[in-house]
Amino acid sequence: MTETPHAHRLGAKAGSPHTFGAAVLTVSTSVAAGEREAGGSPPIVDAIEKWGFRLESTAVVPDDVDEIKAALRNWTANRSVNLILTTGGTGLSPT
Please tell me the number of Cα atoms within 13 Å of 49 on its side-chain side. Answer: 9
Q: How far is 52 from 29, CA to CA, in rounded Å?
A: 30
Residues 25-80: tens digit of each pLDDT: 988 888 888 888 777 788 899 999 898 899 999 999 999 999 999 999 999 998 88
Number of H helices, E strands in the chain: 3, 3
The burial class, CB within 10 Å (0-12 / 13-18 / 19+), for 50 is: middle
Q: How many CB atoms lie within 10 A of CB 2?
A: 5
Q: Give the residues across from 88 on adjacent strands.
A: 27
Instruction: Provide the pLDDT for residue 1.
Output: 36
